[in-house]
Amino acid sequence: LYTAPDSCEGRCGEPFSEEDECHCHRECDIERNCCEDRERHCGPAGFSSSRASITDQELLELSEQLYELDHNKARPGDIALNPQHRAGPDETGDKRDRSPQPLYKFVNEELFSKPTYASFIKLLDNYQRATGREEEVTAEELREQDGFLQEVMKTELMKKLFVFLQGKGRYSSEQEFLQDLKEMWFGLYSRGDGEPDSSGFEHVFSGEVKKGKVSGFHNWIRFYLLEKQELVNYFSHNFNGPWDSYPDVLGLQFSWDGFYKEVGSAFIGSSPEFELGLYSLCFLARPGRACHLSLGGHQLSVQTFPWSKAPASGGRRFIATAYVTSP
């Protein structure tokens, strides 16, 4: 189900990209830069067909479609931001609070009563932020994971993503897709000393603290709720996307209960299903590489990485991180 930067699995027929570690297109034999397993996957007897590969153009088109299908996103007037100081490259790392006011002036919390938001928020208190401490997952927390995934799969956005991936031969049923989402996002692995202390969901959406710094934490809802509790202190922003509606993109600096985040990019005003869907798409299509997308006519990229320091479970991979970047 997964492609890897050093493998041709799922990449047969993929166009040449300088970002790739090795290549799977027809001319790579001549150029002597094929992945070692190209013949096994893409040869006459290979089992990874070009039909399953996802082209750059398809990513651009599908991301625009998902952007239009984000029906649960914030509307104009639902969020009022106060970005204040824009940090230059030499300012992001100096841990100075250059913005005396909070980032969020107002959020219409009626958004949070929508099923995907409500089930998402329930997950945020399930984690110990410090890496190296084993996560103990209760039966109730497992139910909350299932509840969230079931709610997002009811949305038109996630159904569109599934139909696309099914058409690529990646999944035979919605249940198979749902199970894979659960494994890639909620499967536990170790970022510390061998204890199962982390997951893709915890890292990307809830945030972690590792070696005295904030790690992950790329979600606007989480940021707003902690800022409201005065546990997050907004310092500045170094990037403000070109969008004049939601979702928007912001790169920001902040302190979380005394721990610093030098650059933390986040979609602003997007629904939980939008972020989950976009990150999952990029993890499946371009793991370990930049995933070039288009939202509302504006280019941007998503970077994902698989967790590679432990054996994959059943041949599958866990999400190590996923975040949005400028083009």
Whether 218 is a known active-site residue: answer: yes
Q: Which of 25, 218, 237, 292 is catalytic?
A: 218
Whether 71 is a known active-site residue: answer: no
**Which tokens sit at 269?**
């005003």
CA atoms within 13 A on the CB side of 295: 27
Q: Length of the chain, please?
A: 327
- The DSSP bridge partners found for residue 265 are 251
Q: Which of 23, 25, 41, 203 is catalytic?
A: 203
Name the residue with tokens 């403000």.
Answer: 240
Angle between helices 56-68 and 272-285 (to 10 degrees): 170
- The DSSP bridge partners found for residue 189 are 198
Q: Which of 23, 210, 261, 292 is catalytic?
A: 261
Q: Which amino acid is at 287?
A: P
Question: Which residues are catalytically annotated?
Answer: 203, 218, 261
